[in-house]
Amino acid sequence: MRDLVSTFGRSPRVLVLDFLLNNSTIDYCKSDIAARTGISRATLELFWNELIKTNIITRTRKIGRAEMYKLNKELPLVQKLMKLTNKKGDKK
């Protein structure tokens, strides 16, 4: 099984995508994603809107003030990344 980090390096974007691919059935808030990938929240904010605009991640719900997000497994690009890394996810 390949992962994005070993293939593409440890850039913050790769770390986030790799984390979401490995945890594609659960939604997370931005703070959790930053903490679990080891990047700062400020660094995550630098490219977060790009992930939203390209539909790679989608907002799933709001819990209190926290907005929750997960990988958009319906997007062909995400499906190709899942295939590349041998990740299997349900289509929900």
pLDDT band at 86 (very low <50, low <70, confident <90, very high): confident
Nearest to 28 by CA among 38, 18, 20, 17: 20
- Residue 67's pLDDT is what? 96
Domain boundaries, given as residue ranges, for the chain: 4-84
- Residue 6's pLDDT is what? 77
The label of the residue with tokens 């992930």 reads: 51
Q: What percent of the chain has pLDDT over 90?
A: 74
Residue scoring higher pLDDT (87 or 32)? 32
| Angle of the 41-53 helix axis to the 12-22 helix axis, nearest 10 | 70
Tokens of 43: 């660094």
- Using DSSP, state whether 22 is helix, strand or coil: helix
Q: Is a pLDDT exceeding 90 seen at residue 87?
A: no
Mean pLDDT of all residues belonging to the chain = 89
For the domain made up of 4-84, give the CATH fold: Arc Repressor Mutant, subunit A (1.10.10)
